[in-house]
């Protein structure tokens, strides 16, 4: 007899949802986390802190009001690191409290310590108190997430050269900042600090960034952040980084030189699997420490061991991790459940936000699908004008043959909220007609869907059954009588 039906290693989004699901099924479940508080990277150094920091920056800086009151407008004149951290700590404490309550309410056991496999159905957990506990389970779920990638060539010092975990605890807001890596984390932090009027240089070795996003959308975003003052340097590998005491010297392979008070290294993350002793159970990871799973069940090559969340790689989103954890838990406990939807949104909480769902224009072209594009600019909506939005765009891709919605890309205020309308229509196999036929609240930013829908609709052939025909006028009875008399 095993101690537990399911042991989950990691309490981030995947581990959290898996544990609660198992609890609701009435199973005996344990969640283990190596940190001193529940929540994983998502709560303590990843998703929640970065999004809290973004909201704090936009509120304190008055960034949203500058279109009306000028670029020099500030909601708070002197913003310091303490201002940024105050809201952060309140939010994190609340998140941990909610998670602890959810686990308690669903009878999910928790244990803080570092777990490693000692055989196929048994783990050893080392606690901070020095204890070594041995526990067994019928099934396991690995949901350990990722940790920052720290190459030896980068002279990290925790003060002027930092990774994204350390960056949350800075003592002062720098006047100038170099961000290395134009992935999601790098783009989010670079644009946040640009909104604080920090002089930011974003360096990306490749010639492009966020390649899974529609290129037109990225062009729109790039234009906006450059207007903000962000110096975006693509195709610029770094040859040397020097810690010069009070500042950092960065030399690029093309001969360019950048000096800044601080450097944030945000180029990649590694699967947090090195302490699990996976070799004991016959599991191997890729060079980034990530596990391979069946993407329908989340089983690894060892059938009773599952993995979900960032530790299995792409798409590495908190939102998809939550779904993966639920599905993995149900499958492990042999309980039927609904499958995951094929369409899920990407959300990048930069300034401005980017969010997409469905296919990009490049994907539509690669598949050879005849299509039409509908565009709406936020500044052309009444709500956008009221809010003072100078930028923002909703782009809609529609099949010419079936009229089906193929994808939506949004860049601008509220993009990560607005995208769910497109997600619903996509999953219900809806057409552009939905946006034309339906009434949207006015004024709203969501009205951009109707504008973009009409933009596409008006350039598309209208099916015969959709045509509204004018009826011929009825004959006038008196005229008939008069003509007969004549």
Which domain CATH number covers 124? 3.50.50.60
Q: What is the mean pLDDT of each run of 10 residues along the chain (486 residues)?
A: 94 97 97 94 92 93 85 83 89 94 97 96 93 96 96 94 94 96 96 96 96 95 94 95 93 94 96 96 96 96 97 94 96 91 94 97 97 96 91 96 97 97 97 95 96 95 71 61 44
Question: Can you give the pLDDT at residue 136?
Answer: 97
Same domain, 370 and 422: yes
Whichever domain contains 387, its CATH number is: 3.30.390.30
Q: Residue 74 falls within a domain, yes or no?
A: yes
Residues 213 and 296: their CA atoms lie apart, in Å, by 24
- Select from 267, 293, 322 the last residue of a domain: 267
Same domain, 74 and 58: yes
Q: Residue 345 falls within a domain, yes or no?
A: no
Q: Residue 116 falls within a domain, yes or no?
A: yes
Domain that includes residue 427, residue range: 352-462
Q: Residue 254 falls within a domain, yes or no?
A: yes
Domain count of the chain?
Answer: 3
Same domain, 414 and 434: yes
Q: Is the peptide bond before 167 cis (omega within 30 degrees of 0)?
A: no
Q: Residue 413 falls within a domain, yes or no?
A: yes
Q: Residue 479 falls within a domain, yes or no?
A: no
Q: Pick the closest to residue 335 from 19, 6, 22, 3 (CA basis).
A: 22
Same domain, 64 and 181: no
Question: Can you give the pLDDT at residue 464?
Answer: 72
Same domain, 294 and 235: no
Q: Residue 468 falls within a domain, yes or no?
A: no
How far lies 126's CA from each of 35, 116, 193, 275, 373, in Å? 12, 9, 39, 11, 57
Q: Residue 374 falls within a domain, yes or no?
A: yes
Same domain, 419 and 457: yes
Question: Can you give the pLDDT at residue 481?
Answer: 45
Same domain, 166 and 142: no
Q: Pick the closest to residue 147 from 344, 311, 347, 315 (CA basis).
A: 311
Same domain, 238 and 111: no
Same domain, 36 and 96: yes
- Residue 446 C-beta-side C-alpha neighbours within 13 Å: 12
Rounded to two decimals, the pTM is 0.91
Return the exposure string of 112-137: e unless at least 16 CB atoms fall within 10 Å of the residue's CB, then b: bbbbebeeebbbbbeeeeeeeeebbb
Question: Can you give the pLDDT at residue 485?
Answer: 43
Same domain, 434 and 365: yes
**278: helix, coil or strand?**
helix
Q: In the numeric block, which tokens belong to residue 233?
A: 């340097």
Same domain, 369 and 453: yes
Q: Which residues have a Cβ under 8 Å from the Cβ of 21 and sit 6 or more positions away?
A: 325, 326, 329, 330
Same domain, 93 and 211: no
């Amino acid at each position: 007899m095993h101690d537990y039906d399911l042991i989950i290693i990691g309490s981030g989004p995947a581990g959290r949802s898996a544990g609660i699901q198992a609890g609701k099924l009435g199973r005996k479940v344990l969640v283990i986390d190596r940190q001193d508080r529940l929540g994983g990277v998502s709560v303590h150094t990843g998703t929640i802190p970065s999004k809290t920091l973004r909201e704090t920056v936009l509120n304190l800086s008055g960034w949203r009001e500058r279109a009306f009151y000028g670029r020099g407008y500030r909601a708070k004149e002197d913003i310091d690191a303490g201002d940024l951290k105050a809201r952060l700590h309140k939010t994190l404490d609340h998140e941990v409290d909610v998670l602890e309550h959810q686990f308690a309410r669903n009878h999910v056991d928790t244990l803080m310590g570092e777990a490693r496999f000692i055989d196929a159905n048994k783990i050893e957990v080392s606690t901070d108190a020095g204890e070594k506990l041995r526990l067994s389970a019928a099934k396991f779920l690995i949901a350990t997430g990722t940790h920052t990638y720290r190459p030896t060539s980068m002279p990290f010092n925790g003060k002027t050269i930092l990774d994204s975990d350390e960056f949350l605890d800075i003592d002062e807001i720098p006047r100038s900042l170099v961000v290395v890596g134009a992935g999601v984390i790098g783009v989010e932090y670079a644009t946040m600090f640009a909104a604080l009027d920090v002089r930011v240089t974003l360096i990306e070795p490749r010639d492009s960034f966020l390649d899974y996003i529609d290129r037109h959308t990225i062009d729109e975003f790039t234009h906006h952040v450059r207007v903000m003052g962000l110096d975006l340097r693509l195709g610029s590998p770094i040859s040397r980084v020097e810690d010069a005491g009070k500042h950092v010297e960065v030399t690029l392979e093309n001969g360019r030189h950048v000096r800044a008070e601080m450097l944030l290294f945000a180029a990649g993350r590694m699967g947090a699997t090195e302490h699990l002793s996976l070799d004991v159970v016959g599991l191997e990871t890729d060079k980034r420490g990530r596990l391979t799973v069946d993407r329908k069940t989340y089983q690894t090559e060892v059938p009773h061991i599952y993995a979900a969340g960032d530790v299995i790689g792409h798409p590495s989103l908190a939102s998809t991790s939550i779904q993966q954890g639920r599905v993995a838990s149900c499958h492990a406990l042999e309980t039927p459940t609904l499958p995951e939807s094929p369409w899920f949104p990407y959300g990048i909480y930069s300034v401005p936000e980017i969010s997409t769902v469905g296919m990009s224009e490049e994907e539509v072209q690669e598949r050879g699908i005849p299509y039409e594009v509908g565009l709406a600019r936020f500044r052309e909506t009444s709500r956008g004008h009221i809010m003072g939005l100078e930028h923002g765009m909703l782009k809609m891709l529609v099949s010419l043959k079936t009229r089906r919605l193929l994808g939506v890309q949004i860049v601008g205020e509220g993009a990560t909220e607005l995208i769910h309308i497109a997600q619903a229509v996509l999953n219900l196999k809806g057409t552009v007609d939905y946006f034309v036929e339906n009434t949207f609240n006015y004024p709203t930013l969501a009205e951009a869907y109707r504008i973009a829908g009409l933009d596409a609709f008006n350039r598309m052939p209208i099916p015969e059954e959709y045509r509204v025909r004018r009826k011929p006028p009825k004959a006038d009875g008196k005229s008939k009588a008069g003509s007969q008399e004549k």
